[in-house]
Amino acid sequence: MALNIIALESSCDETSASIIQDGKVLSNTILSQSVHEIYGGVVPELASRAHQQHIISVVDKALEEAGISIDELSAIAFTQGPGLLGSLLVGISFAKGLSIAKDIPLISVNHMQAHILAHFIEDPKPDFPFLCLTISGGHTQLVLVSNYLDMKVLGETRDDAVGEAFDKIGKMLGFPYPSGYLIDEHAKTGDPGKFKFPSTSVPGYNYSFSGIKTAVLYFLRDKLKTDDLFIEKNLSDLCASIQHTLIKMLMEKLILCAKENNIKEIAIAGGVAANSGIRDHLIGLSEHYDWKTYIPKLEYCTDNAAMIGIAGYYRFLEGALCDLTVIPNARLKF
Ligand code: KG4
Ligand code: ZN
């Protein structure tokens, strides 16, 4: 009989469900909550309410697209953390209810590990050990991945995540939330050398993105004093210059970490890995350093339940299940 895992993702503002059959994705239903756009960021209370409102229809759609009935499910994987507590509670409570009703086991999944394991949804898959730069709205980490369950954070941000920097700077430029994608689009037609912003360097393989955010804020404030239309007139060049600085900061530590740990298998993961500038830059670096690079499909970069399902599948194979006493952990570590 086939091993059918249903996976649930509800850590932030995407309500998602996926069916994984013997390690293959049969469906991946994602509902992105639009309610936050006008607030310039995710409003936790609204996010949990929206998850509660939509989770049943999202699960129904995932089952329907996979052609699987609820009675054919073998196990339930869900995001335990990190994420917003109220949002995580919706997914975990749903998973527990289904586990009791259908008498099937539960598998708790770390959202950040799942972003990395999204590389095992499709070919080509990285060889162990590999280095993964995980870049999202909440995290920026350099992770040494030795196995499906064995991962070590070698470096991370000391303050803002790089996605947060994209979104906060985007807000200053007048974009709605989340604005990473919009900065990316405008950057394509801009001059990355037009404006210079400082790139902060911190010890080890760590990052800091709060400095560039403040630098852009003061830069725009000064320019707007003498020209109200400065942003509109220079939007593409501003986006290209800011994105260029962020990419430079990300890549400097990635190169250092890869060299010092003698690793040539390099992956990127997380929502910011959807950035076309980062993807192009990485391809250039792979030629220069003779790296083998792995970039997930866009659909598997931003939050989705298929990555939770694939992480759950490997945990299931290792017998790493959990019981009904499991609770969400907003700051879950590896
Ligand atoms: O992984 P993700 O979907 O959610 C979290 O776990 O945080 O990442 C969301 C982040 C947001 O900050 C969003 O602006 C950013 O990914 N993002 C991008 C792009 N697409 C999404 N940032 C830069 N360029 C993009 N094309
Ligand atoms: Zn994420």
Which pLDDT does position 188 carry in this prediction?
A: 98
Contacts of 271 (CB under 8 A, 6+ apart): 135, 136, 137, 163, 178, 180, 301, 302, 303
Q: Are 4 and 73 in contact (CB under 8 A)?
A: yes
Percent residues over pLDDT 70 in the chain: 100
Atom of ligand 1 nearest to the CA of 13: 4
Residue 83 CA to ligand 2 center (angstroms) comes to 8
User: How far is Cα 214 from Cα 331, in angstroms, rounded to an integer?
Assistant: 26
The protein residues having their C-beta less than 5 angstroms from ligand 2 (an ion) are 136, 303
151 CB within 6 A, ligand 1: no
Q: Please tell me the number of the ligand nearest to residue 163's CA.
A: 1
180 CB within 6 A, ligand 1: yes
271 CB within 6 A, ligand 1: yes
Which pLDDT does position 76 carry in this prediction?
A: 98
163 CB within 6 A, ligand 1: yes
75 CB within 6 A, ligand 1: no
Q: Please tell me the number of the ligand nearest to residue 168's CA.
A: 1
Look at ligand 1, atom 8, and give the residue with the nearest C-alpha.
271
Which pLDDT does position 282 carry in this prediction?
A: 96
Task: Look at the alpha carbons of 47, 52, 56, 57 in this order and tell me if their dihedral is positive or negative.
Answer: negative
Residue 296 CA to ligand 1 center (angstroms) comes to 13
User: How far is Cα 147 from Cα 117, in angstroms, rounded to an integer?
Assistant: 10
Which pLDDT does position 102 carry in this prediction?
A: 98
Atom of ligand 1 nearest to the CA of 302: 3
Q: Please tell me the number of the ligand nearest to residue 112's CA.
A: 2
Which pLDDT does position 334 carry in this prediction?
A: 86
Q: Encode pLDDT of 84-108 as tens digits.
A: 999 999 999 999 999 999 999 999 9
User: Strands 292-294, 265-269: parallel, antiparallel or unpaired by DSSP?
Assistant: parallel
Helix, strand, coil share (%) of the chain residues, nearest 5 = 45, 20, 35
Q: Which stretches in the chain have pLDDT values below 50?
A: none
Note every long-range contact of 232-237, with CB atoms under 8 Å and residues 24 or more positions apart, other chains counting: 234/194, 234/195, 235/173, 235/186, 235/190, 236/186, 236/187, 236/188, 236/189, 236/190, 236/191, 237/190, 237/191, 237/194, 237/195
User: How far is Cα 89 from Cα 49, in angstroms, rounded to an integer?
Assistant: 11
**117, 31, 21, 69 alpha-carbon torsion, rounded to 10°:** 160
Taking the CA atoms of the chain, what radius of gyration do you get in angstroms?
20
Q: Encode pLDDT of 264-308 as tens digits.
A: 999 999 999 999 999 999 999 999 999 999 999 999 999 999 999
At residue 8, the 3 state secondary structure works out as strand
Cis link prior to 328 (omega < 30° from 0)? no
Look at ligand 1, atom 20, and give the residue with the nearest C-alpha.
181
Whole-number mean pLDDT of the chain? 96
User: How far is Cα 282 from Cα 285, in angstroms, rounded to an integer?
Assistant: 5
Residue 181 CA to ligand 2 center (angstroms) comes to 15
166 CB within 6 A, ligand 1: yes
Which pLDDT does position 41 carry in this prediction?
A: 80
Which pLDDT does position 101 carry in this prediction?
A: 98
